[in-house]
Chain A
Amino acid sequence: MTSEQNDNEQMVELRGIRKSFGDLEVVKGIDLNIAKGEFFSLLGPSGCGKTTLLRMIAGLETPDDGTIVISQQSMNGVDANKRPTNMVFQSYAIFPHLNVGENVAYGLIKQRLPKAEIRQRVDAMLKMVDLDGYYNRPSYALSGGQRQRVALARALILEPKVLLLDEPLSALDKKLREQMQDELRRIQRTLGITFILVTHDQEEALIMSDRIAVMFDGNIAQLGTPKEIYDKPLSKRVASFIGVMNFLKGKCVGETKTDIKVEVATLGQVSFSRDLVPEGVSLDHLNIGFRPEMFTVLYDKKEKAENTFMSEVKNVDYYGDMTYYTLALPNSDMDITVSMRNTSGRYVYGLGEAIRVGWRSSSLLILN
């Protein structure tokens, strides 16, 4: 947490941002506020407009319409080189003819600072990104992870108000990616700079962000904390993009002042608070969703649950820490996925085995 008075301060404000390439509108009127010191992610499939939005914040693309305000200053007509933002590019864009130190010093040299000061700041920054002693290393001799660190150091050394990261980890292998995720988070907390991350990797967004905007087709489909996005996705599309979600059909069969009663296909009748029903859904055709981990396999015959049903295992995906079962819903040809954590000694069912599943009404979601 940074000092109290800054907590509510907006760092980046987007007002009605639109952008088309030729006949294709890729950003369709986006309004968004990003707070100072926030780690914010733009998450979406490729082509959803997230990178274009980021590039407009950086000043590398000009919006067709709308205003970008950074730190209370309108960025209309301000070129990329005059903005208080710096970017880590997807390809890292390391200058191939310069060595590590010259790459990191690039922006400082432009500012005509004294040589000694530049050297001192570059060394400090290299230390920060764990590249101590790499000053004279030629850029072609760097590994992917090292390139990423150079790109990061090069951007951070200019002390930007906002750091923009365009899929910075997508080129790294899984282990290195996880390590860099932690490190980025650590650096962001240490410096208190606003980070805006563009990613298509939902897991990465969930782990790293304070808030996430899920984007589809040039619009923000949902905005919220990782927990909100995962637990309470507003639409079927968001739900299926983030994590695994089972979908069932539902139909409203009775209403009271506070609740509606829904007949969920083959599972039975469930009551929902009206607060949980998203606006504009048709009560006759409801999309009901639940996460695989919300249903529990009941290993012991005596184990109790609010609701239970019997099924047969149709497929088993064993992940080591988790097992995913594909089960047939009773009296239906639909399949659902249920996951169980493999605690020590826990039985793993095989194909065709009978299995008893328990669930709670509150784990079902109504989706748009």
Chain B
Amino acid sequence: MSSIFRNINASLAGWRLIGTPFLFGFLLLVAPLFLMIALSFWTQDYLDLDRTPTLNNYRDIFSHPVYVLLIKRSVIISLIVTITTVLLAFPMAYYISFYGGRYKAIWLFLITIPFWTSYLLRIFLWKIILGYNGVVNSGLQSLNLIEEPLSFILYNANAVVIALAHAWAPFAILPIFVALERIDRSMLEAAKDLGDTAIRSFMRVTLPLAMPGIVSAALIVFIPTIGDYVTPRLVGGKDGLMVANMIQVQFSKANNAPLGAALAITSLLTVLLISLGFLFFNRRYLRKQSS
């Protein structure tokens, strides 16, 4: 009996603190998300909302190739961005962790500095770098390596991938770095001592142990990227637009909020499904490694 009372007392002490931020989060995140789900089953009737539940919005999404194409493209771009970002981030994190020595903090600082510029301007500056008269093209031309400016690097999915792989770099480097830091260095020496080559000990010890960091890096890049609005608009051109741009259009010009909500939920669910699948396969991989 008394232990139940004590548990309630302990709970009260915790809730007295976390209650306010929790309530705020509940009212401004959970409740809106539920309302968004509800909205996705309603219909916009010019200025009024028809609240009869219907699947029409979802039917629209899956019957119009443009929506399916946008979601598909967003997922593919996000996946490519995730893979690129993590692949580029890993050697950097590895370098800082294993060769940073006394300067680890300075290295980390060095990596975060570029990200304290306005996000909008950073993406926009990629437009200047990759553009027709941009840095890359004028540079290559002045070196006489190309005669005509390259056109495949701006206003398409490639540009989106480059800009996003840049924008999310620290979010990928930091979790991987933290995971690498946690690896007990004597374990690597033990592997070497037991006759593993550098590559084998990397594959058998370092990589599995760094996996939690790689996983959080991948998720922290993948999930928000799919909803990116600015990058496709600035550097994506017509072929680089993503689903967030369409969601925005539905909420403004097209004045079809329910369809926008349905699009948002469809893409969110897609992201969650892919992420869960990724986590599942990763767990299997780690289990296989440890057995």
Contact = CB atoms under 8 A, between A and B. Distances in A.
Assess A/B contact in the complex (Cβ within 8 A): yes
Interface of A: 20, 22-23, 64
B42 to A, nearest CB: 49
Interface string B179-215: 0000000000000000000000000000000000000
Interface in B1-40: 2-3
A23 B6 CA distance: 12
A116 to B, nearest CB: 40
A64 B2 CA distance: 8
Main secondary structure of the interface of A (DSSP, over half): loop
Interface residues of B, number: 2
Nearest to A64: B2
Contacts of A20: 3
A23 B3 CA distance: 9
Contacts of A64: 2
B145 to A, nearest CB: 59
B9 to A, nearest CB: 10
Contacts of A22: 3
Nearest to B2: A64
A312 to B, nearest CB: 43
- Nearest 4 Cβ contacts at the A-B interface: A64-B2, A20-B3, A22-B3, A23-B3
A64 B6 CA distance: 10
Nearest to A22: B3
A22 B2 CA distance: 10
A22 B10 CA distance: 12
A81 to B, nearest CB: 17
A20 B1 CA distance: 12
A64 B3 CA distance: 9
Contacts of A23: 3
Nearest to B3: A20
A263 to B, nearest CB: 50
A20 B2 CA distance: 10
B4 to A, nearest CB: 12
Interface in B71-130: none
A147 to B, nearest CB: 28
A89 B22 CA distance: 35
Contacts of B3: 20, 22-23
A218 to B, nearest CB: 16
